[in-house]
Structure 1
C-alpha cells in the first residue's frame, strides 16, 4: 500500500532538511502543497531538497517549476481540474508526468480517468484541520468504477488507524498532521513505523 506525505501548508523550521530525512528514511512520494507560498518561496524550498529526490515530488502550486527542477508529478486541485481541458492533461501525460487530483465525493471518480491517482478526504477526523470531520462510516468499503484512478485515503490518518485503510479498499494513504504536528526529532521514527504498517497491510 502506497504511503504519501503531504507538506505542511505553513512554513516549517528546517523544512528542506526534514523532507530530505523523510526521503532518506524510505518515503516514496512527497506532495508539496503550499497554497499561500509565492513562486520564489517554492523555488527556494525545492532548491534545498536533494535533486536525487526531485522526481518523487508532486507540486500543487506553481507548476512551471516542474520543468526547471525535473519534477515528474503535478497535482491539480478540484478547482484547477475543472478549469483544465482534457487535451492539456493528455499532453502532460505524454511528457511521462504523473498527475493527481483531490475529491471529497466518491461519485467524482467517474470523471477522473485521465489521472493516475486521487486523494479522497476526509476518511477520518482531520489532525491538521480543526472541525474537518470524517465523511465515511466505520465500515466503509470503497467501490471503484471501471477506469478509476488509484484512490489514496487522506484525513486523520495516523499509526493507530492506518491499518484500516487497506480493509476499506483504498490503494494507499496520505499523511500530513501525523508527521508535521509532532516534534521534529520524532518525524523520521513515525514515518518508518507508518511505512512498516502500510507495507504489512
Structure 2
C-alpha cells in the first residue's frame, strides 16, 4: 500500500488550517507539521484551528513539548536531532506510544536505521519544487531493493502528480508532498487529489 503524506510549508500560509482540514477530509493519512520559521504561539494557534479529531494524524518536527497537551503521538526526527538522540531515549518514546519517523539524504544511512522508526523520508528524489537548485538524486533507473529498506521509505523532493508513479516504480513505499501542495495553496487540495488518483490507478 503506497502512502501519501503532506509536509507543511515552512512559513505560515493564509487559510492553512482550512486547507489541512480539507486534505484530511479527502483522505490524507498523516500531516507533518514543520514550521522552523514560526514561533510557538503561531504553531499552537494552527494546531487549535485543526479539528481535534485529526490531531492523531499530525506529526511534529519541533515544539515537541506541545504533543502531550494536544494528544499528538507522531514524533519526527530531523537528521541532526536523530544523531543527537540515544537509542535508549528513542526506545523510551516508542514504549510511551509515539510513532517515530525521520529524514535521511543517502542510502547507506537508510540501511543503518532500526525498526524503531515506522518510516523514513529519503530526499531529494526529484528536482525540488520549493527549493530552487535542489537537484534530485534519482536517475530514471533508480530502484530501491527490498534489502535496502529496513523500514518503509517515502520519496521526498519534487514529488507531484506527474512523477508520483515513477516513485512507485522505484519501489518507494510512499511519498511526501510539499511544494506541489503549497506552491499554489489555492490548488492544494486539487493537487493532492490528483496525486492520490494517480497512485490508485497505477
Give the TM interval when normalised to the shorter protein. Answer: over 0.9
Matches within 5 A, 1:1-201: 1-113=2-114, 114-145=116-147, 148-184=150-186, 186-201=187-202
Quote the offset at 1:137 in angstroms.
Answer: 1.2
Query: 1-side partners of 2:62 and 2:43: how far apart?
Result: 9
Query: 1-side partners of 2:188 and 2:142: how far apart?
Result: 29
TM-score by length of 1: 0.95
Cα distance change, pair 117–14 in 1 and its aligned pair in 2 (3 A): same
Moved over 3 A (4+): 144-147
Write the deviation string for residues 32-91 of structure 1: whole angstroms up to 9, x where unpaired. 111122222111110111100000000101111110111110100000000011111111
Give the conservation status (yes or no) of the 8 Å contact 1:123–1:154.
yes
Write the deviation string for residues 66-123 of structure 1: whole angstroms up to 9, x where unpaired. 1011111010000000001111111111122111100000100233112111100010
Q: Secondary structure at the match of 2:47?
A: helix
Number of aligned residues? 200
For structure 2, list consecutive stretches of 5 or more residues without a partner in the other structure.
none
Give the conservation status (yes or no) of the 8 Å contact 1:109–1:144.
no
Quote the offset at 1:136 in angstroms.
Answer: 2.0
Root-mean-square deviation over aligned CA pairs:
1.3
Write the deviation string for residues 7-43 of structure 1: whole angstroms up to 9, x where unpaired. 0001100111111111111111110111122222111
Cα distance change, pair 120–25 in 1 and its aligned pair in 2 (3 A): same
Query: 1-side partners of 2:163 and 2:170: how far apart?
Result: 11
